[in-house]
Chains A and B, each alone.
Chain A
Amino acid sequence: MLASAAEGCSPKEFLREVYKDMSIDYVKFHKMDLLCKIGVVLSDALIRELSLDQKEALEEMAVVLNNSTSSLHSDVKHQASVEEGQSSPAIFVYTLPNIVVGEICIKHKIYGENLFLVSDAPATELLSDYAASLFATGKAKQCMVGWVDALDDKWSASLAIIQEGSTENSINSLEGIFSEAQGVLNN
């Protein structure tokens, strides 16, 4: 299962459209920063496609995400407000990249393993190895894994949910996912 997002139009416009089209209906969405909005929209699309059994096992799903700019998008805003002598708690709480993992877990009541990695390029091998290890040690039976990156108007994202035992958790498959980081949203 695969979903990826498009560059080109303004992230805000794109997200607003997708939010409506997908009837996401989640009040907290509007308070999230760009990175979290992207992560929530894509993860929603994927979770909807899960089978009933897979949805029932959702609470133990691992969420393992990766990007290169960390939370710079919100960091810059926070820094600006600090320099103006005013610090906004609503911006500050988004100055950590793993908050997108948190928002996904909160929305879908996921209590599973969490990890956020920062690297210049998708850490495909490490993510694949780590997902495989989660399955092998019994820490997870399904794993949401991918890349979610956003800085100003530049953004790219690609997520997948891989199941234990499926052939999809091979490096080739993850490489395919990341090379589609500029594809079109599939839902």
Chain B
Amino acid sequence: MGRSVTFIGAENIISPLGTTAEENYSKVLAGQSGIQEGRFLDRDGDLMPASTFPEKQSIHKLLKSCIEGSLAGLNREEFDNGRTLFILSSTKGDIEKLKDRDLPAASLQQLADQMGELVGAGKSITVSQACISGVLAMIMAHDLVVAGKYDSVLVAGSDLVSEFVHAGFHSLFAISGKPCRPYDKDRNGVSLGEAAASVVISKNASTFKSEPLDFLGGTSSNDANHISGPSRTGEGLVRSVTKTLKNSGLTSADIDFINAHGTATTFNDEMESIAFDRMEMNTTPLISLKGYFGHTLGAAGIIETAISLQSLRTNSVPVNIGYTEEGTSKTLNIVTDTLEKPLKRFLKTASGFGGCNASCIIQQHEL
């Protein structure tokens, strides 16, 4: 099957680490994390680490600023051709509105519509698929562009750190008392994070002011095992990555680095090690970015992809912050020193509640 390529770029990130993709990337390369101690008071009265903004944010304003940054990276006369779609990636949207019992204000469609209007998109929709929302939204964008239904899709993701989510993760004993440590022997849970991130996927490279990267699309797969625990054999992740590689006409040897999910829970990271081992990718350099941004839920797939777009642009891969000692039953090649070498392509993976998994491949633009 022929490989289908779209172009991806105009990435933007607004997080506690900065207000542009470049700024976020330079902080990440410098080993700075957005996760700070004592940022969130939990049910037991303990102050927990989280990656949060100094002041309370409105998800509307956050997304708006982020999207404006992406739009600034486009040639508008190319982008605004009436064949654009806007996809919002969010798990809970403006969920704090439930405190006021304002259900309509918590509506995801309302948020998507507002952002869609800002983008000037013909249509807006929300992908809400737990932690794989961001990756899945980009895959959906790619598929619709390849099918000729749209020329460009702006994908934006965001979630805020809320009492709603924090209390829920707390009841699952999934929150770490220290900044999270993906894949590490002493990992013991997630650090939550809030951010917004956006990218544009387009049929034409000329849509972008700066040269885009090539997006080869991706796939998703369900573990068919448990709604909140990952498959012990990494079944869904293996199936997704295998399909993604096959559909791109590539093998695991063609991947220069893996931008994995790595939430720092005992079970997720262990599952990933089993999955990557099954696919014989134990020596492929691998990182999770959750030590820098925390787990940003609906934003995760996009913010983490945006960072790796910067990696391709600069031929560098940052370290997996928080990792010191191997903590999974199968060996992974966790990046512990900044990689600086010519990079061709990366695999992005994500896994989420509901047993879902997604993966996609992005590579240097082939002229």
Residues of B contacting A: mostly: mixed
- Complex alpha-carbon distance, A110 and B93, angstroms: 28
- Inter-subunit contact A87/B168 (CB<8 Å): yes
- B301 CB → nearest A CB, Å: 14
Given known contacts A78-B164, A105-B222, A133-B143, A111 and B235 CB-to-CB distance under 8 angstroms? yes
Q: B1-26 CB contact bits vs A (8 Å, 1 = yes)?
A: 10010000000000000000000000
The yes or no answer to B232 lying at the interface (CB within 8 A) is: no
Query: Which one, A79, A102, A108, A115, contacts B99 given CB within 8 A?
Result: A79
- Complex alpha-carbon distance, A24 and B140, angstroms: 33
- Inter-subunit contact A137/B129 (CB<8 Å): no
Q: Which residues of B contact A19 (CB under 8 A)?
A: none
Q: Which residues of B contact A132 (CB under 8 A)?
A: 147
The yes or no answer to B226 lying at the interface (CB within 8 A) is: yes
Specify the chain A residue showing the minimal Cβ separation from B247: A137
- Complex alpha-carbon distance, A175 and B295, angstroms: 38
- Complex alpha-carbon distance, A139 and B228, angstroms: 25
- B294 CB → nearest A CB, Å: 18
Q: Which residues of B contact A138 (CB under 8 A)?
A: 1, 247
- Inter-subunit contact A96/B353 (CB<8 Å): yes
- B357 CB → nearest A CB, Å: 9
- Inter-subunit contact A113/B140 (CB<8 Å): no
Query: Which one, B4, B103, B128, B353, contacts A102 given CB within 8 A?
Result: B353
Interface residue stretch chosen among A9-17, A45-53, A116-124: A116-124
- Complex alpha-carbon distance, A126 and B123, angstroms: 9
**Number of A-B residue pairs with CB-CB distance less than 8 Å in the complex they form:** 166
- Complex alpha-carbon distance, A102 and B112, angstroms: 24
- A125 CB → nearest B CB, Å: 8
Specify the chain B residue showing the minimal Cβ separation from A136: B147
The yes or no answer to B29 lying at the interface (CB within 8 A) is: no
Q: Which residues of B contact A118 (CB under 8 A)?
A: 108-109, 112, 125-128
- How many chain B residues sit at the interface, stated as a range, is 35 or more
- Complex alpha-carbon distance, A110 and B228, angstroms: 16
- Inter-subunit contact A106/B225 (CB<8 Å): yes
- Inter-subunit contact B356/A98 (CB<8 Å): yes
The yes or no answer to A88 lying at the interface (CB within 8 A) is: yes
Specify the chain B residue showing the minimal Cβ separation from A59: B224
Q: Which residues of A contact B225 (CB under 8 A)?
A: 106
- Inter-subunit contact B236/A119 (CB<8 Å): no
Given known contacts A88-B171, A115-B220, A118-B126, A72 and B106 CB-to-CB distance under 8 angstroms? yes
Given known contacts A82-B163, A103-B227, A123-B125, A110 and B222 CB-to-CB distance under 8 angstroms? yes
- Complex alpha-carbon distance, A109 and B356, angstroms: 13
- Complex alpha-carbon distance, A119 and B87, angstroms: 11
- Complex alpha-carbon distance, A85 and B170, angstroms: 12
The yes or no answer to A97 lying at the interface (CB within 8 A) is: yes
CB-CB nearest 3 A-B residue pairs: A102-B354, A92-B168, A105-B222
Task: Please name 6 pairs of A and B residues whose Cβ atoms are closer than 8 Å in the assembled complex, sorted by A.
Answer: A82-B168, A87-B167, A96-B91, A101-B356, A112-B221, A115-B220
